[in-house]
Structure 1
Amino acid sequence: MNKKKLFINTTLAGVLAFSAFSPVVFAHDALEEGVSKEAYVFDSEALQTLTHSMTGQKNLSFLREAAAVQIEKNNGVQNNMADVYAHKGFAYTGTHTANGANGGVRVFDLKDPSNPVEVAVFADEIPNTWQEKVIVKSVNTPHFKGDLAAVSLQQTSRNNANRPDSVGGVLLYDVTDPYNPERLGFYQLDRKITGTHELYLTTQGNRALVLASNPYADYYTHGEQKDFQIIDVSNPAEPELLWQWDPRELDEVAEDFNGYHWASPDGKTRPVFNHSVITDNNAQHAYVSMWDLGTVIFDIKDPENPVYLGRTDYANNQKGAAHSAALAKGGTVLIETREIANPHGAGYESAYGYTRIFDIKDKTNPVLLSEFKTDLTFDFSAPVVSFAKTVHDPKVHGNTLYLSYYSGGVLAVDITDPSNPVEIARYTPEESNVWGVFVDRNYVLASDMGQGLKVLLKNNGNGHGRN
């Protein structure tokens, strides 16, 4: 077998740090010396207490657990799992920060979905980093033809003088043979930036592009590098920056934007940074999750000259926290998930993060259709403030929306009528801590931070091997 957020030094799903000298909130950001810390974190004991009190549901009529497999130790270290992606019958899972990070990307052969086999590890070669997100696509450019993997890379300790070999950015690998990934290139960020938090790999004709989310890049480099970047990876050995953008470039934000916080018209000081990005299938538009600025939409038909179109907005009493996005109904409906760990706050509704659904036929004017809330949204019985009850990532398959929900597991939601979303199934194993979800043919993949890869059969199917 080829076993080749953000200053986080424990198993954190995210952090909010409050500055001692200004009302600045750096969500998902560095906890630095000299800064008072009021952190909302994954407390493992508290999370276990919470999840032990929940009833595990592994055999639902719509979602049935077919397999559960823990990731193997890497260099003698047991890491924990982050996001999950699937391509051509293989699952690719990122890893988070447990036990020092450097868990790399894990590759699982899903030929037999009831028995996933870990067959490779890659992208673990840069010290003191973690690899949350991996996207794999088949690309055909003048420089490379095959299956390309783009991996987000973040330092566990930003710009640390004691860790001079640590750096963030985007690693690029040839995974045409998933058993033997080969490194092709590295798009490296300034060490003052924690790294690329999430990313998306897409194609435009014979061109391959990475869209990268680099939280606080503009702030840390004084504008030299920016939060949202579009990188040409047509030649993976020589990635090239095409364009970059920072929220202070919006006229409605610029005058009231200071230290990466926005004095919004509702009188609140709101955190704004790039957490995540996706595109539609033909890479015509980018959807950028900019926390309390909402989901920002760009026309990227010309990736050297994208055009800002519009963004989602919030009620005055809502925390924004636009975390991730997905598209439905041929790209005319936007799903926006909001990761809120602290369910309370002066001037805000008491609620964990929930999902909002928008009509985006007119991308300059997203229209809110509905808000999907669950029993988790208003359950404040957790022993500590944590990410256990908030929604995390969305994926859409046909008229079904799949949501990863940490201790809630995976929820399936019927969005045939996006104005009236209805929960139709829930998979909640004991001690659930589900980070990501991905739909692949007749099964749903869930990445559980503590328990590894879960394979869930849907529609009472029996699973199928690779096509």
Structure 2
Amino acid sequence: MKKKNVLRVTLASAIALSGFAPAALAHDALDLEGGQKGYREVFSQEELEALKIGYKFSGDKNVKNLTEVASIQIKPGEDGRQKNMADVYAHKGFAYTGTHTAGGGTGGVRVFDLKNPANPKEVATFATDIPNTWQEKVIVKTVNTPSFKGDLAVVSVQQLSRNSASQPNSFGGVLLYDVSDPYNPKKLGFYKFSDRRITGTHELYLVQQGNRLLLLNSSPYADYYTGGKEKDFQIIDVTNPANPQKLWDFDPRILPEVPANFNGYHWNAPDGKQRPVFNHSVITDNNGQYAYVSMWDLGTVIFDIRNPENPVLVGRTEYAPNQKGSAHSAALAKGGNILIETREVSNPVGAGYESAYGYTRIFDISDKSNPKLLSNFVTDLTFDIPPTSTGRTTFAKTVHDPKVQGNTLYLSYYSGGVLSVDITDPANPVEIGRYTPDGADVWGVFLDRNYVLASDMGQGLKVLLKNNSGGNSTRNLEVK
């Protein structure tokens, strides 16, 4: 494996981590019957700090393929409190970053002018108008429909709490903004979940089909919380961004292996295990023909969405009986014939499962009805498991999000930073670089021109120069 930097982890205070998990996390607490808790990724500031106390991470900002040219923290929110950063997206020389739950949430989307990538400027904030929420994901695209022409941003909105008594004005959904002038975003609409039992939208995607504009929506646990009234995966027509209309949603019961009594979360899988099933994320190909839905232990489910009112289930990825599923996110490569599936496994042990943190799987999907596993990409973190339960449950060592450019796969890896992987031969992926700043907590990664953008939960926006596309100098970075 060709790499110049290996993340080094030292247990400095095992007792400080006992019972805690890191803050680089995505989901709400799932309230199950009998007081049990399901998949949980929202934690208090105290729990966040426990990770920093318990682990000491050291790394290298300048490696063979990636060099840090800028690092900038986001400004405090409108309430004066410091927020933390979630995902990152780039469009036309601007970076758009979501915000997580620190500082009481409602940090909105931050816009950075990247005219000079070595000196990003935060120039606007939007999507702060729904109280007691957080805005993890933003997608921005240039669209042209009969109702709107310009640059459209869609923003996920999730409630901090579903307690209607304490937060009556909080609702989940999707905000839609005109960002044709990134300095002055203008609100166009809000796809609002009327049922407050739905936490909200976690990840989402935007694609245009001819004159039609589609929003693909991931709302974890919607099926469970509403008793099947609403579903976790929805397709919404936003051709008129001021008037979003739901076209279709996915009921997992259409799969022959999912029984009719599926309760919207627990799935009694054919391997004899009770597995979690919910929609975490979705992407499409560039033409909006196929959707790839990350349905956790149901795998990456592939739909033909050329008729969005009546999508056709095509196929899905599957897991060995000893693998936790945890299909978190996906990316496409090789003209859409290769599927990258990242699996967010925080607890690397469990009865009947392999001992491993989440790693990446690469599939040949030239036949989408029959995805074929080509390789598993693991790192030195994957099997670096503490011998006791103390400090074991942590997202610091699992993969998170994937992005692909040409034959290079980029992975956000929480405390592992950003990894670059050569997938020229998808059956033999090779790590070729790793950016790991001290105290890294990298949530998202995105590709913009000759740069890799990384969103660090605690440190803000990182701008990385791909050294193989112009050397490691920061001279002449200004975009004319």
Q: Deviations over 1:238-269 (max 9, x none)?
A: 01111111222322212462351111111100
Tell me if 1:446 matches 2:459.
no
* Residue segments in structure 1 that go unaligned for 5+ positions in a row: 1-9, 31-38
Q: Deviations over 1:29-77 (max 9, x none)?
A: 79xxxxxxxx99994344324652x332011121000000000011211
Indicate the residue corresponding to 1:314 in structure 2. 319
Partners of 1:173 and 1:356 in 2: CA distance: 35
2:437 aligned partner, one-letter code:
P
Partners of 1:435 and 1:456 in 2: CA distance: 15
2:412 aligned partner, one-letter code:
S
Structure 1 residues 146 and 14 mapped into 2: Cα distance closer, same or farther (>3 Å)?
A: closer
Deviation of the 1:459 alpha carbon:
2.7
Tell me if 1:59 matches 2:71.
no
Deviation of the 1:386 alpha carbon:
1.1
Q: How does 1:147-186 map to 2 (within 5 A)?
A: 147-186=151-190
Partners of 1:118 and 1:419 in 2: CA distance: 41
Instruction: Give the aligned CA root-mean-square deviation in angstroms.
Output: 2.1
Indicate the residue corresponding to 2:25 in structure 1. 13
Partners of 1:249 and 1:466 in 2: CA distance: 50
Note if contact 2:73-2:459 (Cα within 8 Å) is conserved in structure 1: yes
Partners of 1:62 and 1:51 in 2: CA distance: 26
Higher mean C-alpha displacement, 200-209 vs 139-148 = 200-209
Structure 1 residues 234 and 70 mapped into 2: Cα distance closer, same or farther (>3 Å)?
A: same
2:438 aligned partner, one-letter code:
E
Tell me if 1:104 matches 2:108.
yes
2:34 aligned counterpart, secondary structure? coil
Note if contact 1:150-1:170 (Cα within 8 Å) is conserved in structure 2: yes
Deviation of the 1:347 alpha carbon:
0.5
Structure 1 residues 61 and 12 mapped into 2: Cα distance closer, same or farther (>3 Å)?
A: closer
Q: How does 1:373-388 map to 2 (within 5 A)?
A: 373-381=378-386, 383-388=391-396
2:223 aligned counterpart, secondary structure? helix
Q: Deviations over 1:405-429 (max 9, x none)?
A: 0000000000000000000000000
Q: How does 1:280-291 map to 2 (within 5 A)?
A: 280-291=285-296
* Residue segments in structure 2 that go unaligned for 5+ positions in a row: 1-21
Identity %: 70
Indicate the residue corresponding to 1:146 in structure 2. 150
Structure 1 counterpart of 2:416, from 408, 411, 418: 408
Deviation of the 1:135 alpha carbon:
0.1
Partners of 1:290 and 1:317 in 2: CA distance: 18
2:58 aligned partner, one-letter code:
T
Note if contact 1:51-1:432 (Cα within 8 Å) is conserved in structure 2: no
Structure 1 residues 278 and 264 mapped into 2: Cα distance closer, same or farther (>3 Å)?
A: same
1:126 aligned partner, one-letter code:
I
- TM-score, with structure 1 as normaliser: 0.92
Partners of 1:167 and 1:18 in 2: CA distance: 18
Partners of 1:220 and 1:315 in 2: CA distance: 29
Deviation of the 1:119 alpha carbon:
0.2
1:250 aligned partner, one-letter code:
L
Partners of 2:317 and 2:477 in 1: CA distance: 39
Partners of 2:412 and 2:44 in 1: CA distance: 19
Structure 1 residues 43 and 420 mapped into 2: Cα distance closer, same or farther (>3 Å)?
A: farther
Note if contact 1:43-1:384 (Cα within 8 Å) is conserved in structure 2: no
Partners of 1:431 and 1:288 in 2: CA distance: 32
1:62 aligned partner, one-letter code:
N
Deviation of the 1:208 alpha carbon:
1.1
Deviation of the 1:17 alpha carbon:
5.6
1:73 aligned partner, one-letter code:
P
Q: How does 1:289-368 map to 2 (within 5 A)?
A: 289-368=294-373
